[in-house]
Structure 1
Amino acid sequence: MPAVDHPGVETVVPGSWAELQDLLFSEPWPQRAGRYHSNVVHRGLPCAGYGLRTSVQRLGRLERETDLLRNFRKYSRVPFRHQENDWEWLTLAQHHGLPTRILDWTYSPLVALHFATAEVERHDEDGAVWSADFVAVHRRLPPGVREALERSGGTAFTVELLGEVAPTLARFDALDEEPFMVFFEPPSLDERIVNQYASFSVVSSPAQRPDEWLARAEPPLVRKLVVPAALKRQVRERLDQANVTERVLFPGLDGLSRWLTRYYSSPPRR
């Protein structure tokens, strides 16, 4: 039976690699335009005890969110076509490690598994893959925001569409009294975003934890799949065999160095 260790979140623990795959790919198959498009995004974490907190929440300085973004814009030398659109700057800042309210996800269950198993020193701990139904999340948007998405013909926002809805974070937060969540696809800033099949989420309040928001919905819109420590090494071998590695997900010398470091840090197969 599934156990729950985050309030309101279904937690499932597979017993084998085959069961793990079945659970990751077990969502219904919605058909649009004759092709399969998943309604689910995933986030892999090396420790099953971690929840879904944004980097600015982990920093513990929510009151500095505006200052962080303002100074990033001031000192950055990267020009944008839409200088007044907070979303392009926020995406760039998140991509380069600035604490923000954005949370990284991926459309690929295997990419999420990579991030749950990439840290060799944590292979004795359970990891986790969190999965959220972003289409169901968008059904709970304030009417004006939902209608803008429906008019676009897409299921996820873009930075351009978010800029039309609310060009600044302050205006975004003021769109509704209750916090709401949006998923958007970042622009292809580099190959890393493309290869990681990235999706971003943002809540209309920097203080609102994404896991708590998702778990409060009826029915809950999130599931946590535990990657048991006993399976981590096998999962890691399968991912390496499928070429889901740092060399692909972080193109360039940084990714190559990460891959080689992990490869030569891994213990021999028992």
Structure 2
Amino acid sequence: MKTDKDIYVHNWQELQEALFQDSFDKRINRHRSSYVYRGMYNKDFDLRTSLIRLGGSFDQLEPHLLRNFKKYAHNNASPGHSVWNWLAVAQHHGLPTRLLDWTYSPYVALHFATANTAQFKTDGAIWCVNYVKSNQYLPKALKEAIENEGSNVFTPEMLEPVCASLKQLAALQEEEFVLFLEPPSLDGRIIHQFALFSMMSKVDAMLSTWLMEHPELFFRIIIPASLKWEIRDKLDQANITERVLFPGLGGLSQWLKRHYTTI
């Protein structure tokens, strides 16, 4: 897809400037970005969830997927009774959900935009969303909850007392909204990827469509295919690799495979 908020970069230096633009916070005199990032190897991809990608009556499948996941996963998970914890666990393990993965780290997002060397002939993109400003569109109850905590993102513990189910979430406000949710530290992958999730209030809502209606909240950085190998090599040199982001033998093997790939 193409947006009016696309920034085209042509070299590593322009990429750095784009990734860290508007990161200076005058209130604290520090570089603390209010953006979160999502890297995609193809710039034409929108922000549809894994649940939407199921197709068909995906909106009716959500409660069935989650109910059966909870039923069969109890021996291998202990997220308590909160649906928000269960959603995070399900997303983390590959169940189709309404959640989308994001990171606070622009370099982690760059990793995911350049990890697949089979897609190096395709222009990639980094979606950059101002998660702080997005809170102004929250319903009153959620806005008060997050302000009382002095936070900019939700945790399952913050969300549960205000809204305990997906149906309650949709009923809070007629207009669609997005909230950002920090998952529990399920394993090293969540921690090392500096990860969080976005969640739309309605199951059939798509974040990219919503952002087009609120263009002040986002921009995209378009990465030309010709720049991907340079980015990839520099990220590997900086240790932004599967060996770190996916702790374990699988991540190690992915990193080594690319490291010894001949081009």
Structure 2 counterpart of 1:215, from 203, 212, 218: 212
- In 1, the alpha carbon distance for the partners of 2:197 and 2:206 equals 14
In the TM superposition, residue 211 of structure 1 has moved relative to its aligned partner by: 0.6
Q: 2:10 aligns to what? A: 15
Which of 145, 156, 175 aligns to 1:159? It is 156
The TM-score normalised by the length of structure 1 is 0.92
1:181 and 2:178 matched: yes
Give identity over the alignment, percent: 46
1:162 Cα deviation from its structure 2 partner: 1.2
Q: How many residues align?
A: 260
Taking a change above 3 Å as real, the CA distance of residues 74 and 32 of structure 1, as seen in their structure-2 partners, is farther
How far does residue 174 in structure 1 lie from its aligned partner after superposition? 1.1
Distance 1:231 1:37 in 2: 27
Separation of aligned partners in 1, 2:10 and 2:124:
13
2:79 and 2:85 in contact (8 A); partners too: no
Pairing 1:113–2:110 present: yes
Structure 1 gap ranges (5+): none
Match of 2:71 in 1: 74
> Alpha-carbon deviation of 1:67?
0.4
Q: Which residue of 2 aligns with 1:131?
A: 128
The equivalent of 1:91 in structure 2 is 88
Q: Which residue of structure 1 lines up, in the alignment, with residue 41 of structure 2?
A: 46
Q: Indicate whether 1:27 and 2:22 are aligned.
A: yes
Asked if 1 retains the 8 angstrom alpha-carbon contact of 2:36 and 2:103, the reply is yes
Alpha-carbon distance in 2 for matches of 1:33, 1:171: 36
Please report how far the alpha carbon of residue 207 of structure 1 lies from its aligned counterpart in structure 2 after TM superposition.
Answer: 0.5
Where structure 2 has 5 or more consecutive residues not aligned to the other structure, the ranges are none
Report the Cα offset of residue 154 of structure 1. Answer: 0.8
CA distance in structure 2 between the partners assigned to 1:174 and 1:36 by the alignment: 37
Mapped contact 1:215–1:221 kept (Cα < 8 A)? no
The one-letter code matched in structure 2 to 1:230 is S
Distance 1:74 1:198, change over 3 A: same
Is the 2:24–2:30 Cα contact (8 Å) retained in structure 1?
no
Q: Alpha-carbon deviation of 1:33?
A: 6.0
**Aligned CA distance change for structure 1 residues 31 and 88 (closer, same or farther; 3 Å):** farther
Aligned AA (2:234): R
Q: Distance in 1 between matches of 2:108 and 2:118?
A: 19
Deviation at 1:30, TM superposition (A): 1.7
Q: Give the SS at the match of 1:42.
A: strand
Q: 1:254 and 1:111 mapped to 2: Cα distance?
A: 18
1:227 aligned residue (223, 237, 244)? 223
Q: Cα RMSD over matched residues?
A: 1.5
Q: Secondary structure at the match of 1:55?
A: coil
Shift in alpha-carbon separation, 1:159–1:34, aligned structure 2, 3 A: farther
Query: Distance between the aligned counterparts of 1:233 and 1:106, measured in 2?
Result: 22
- Give 1:31 deviation, angstroms: 5.2
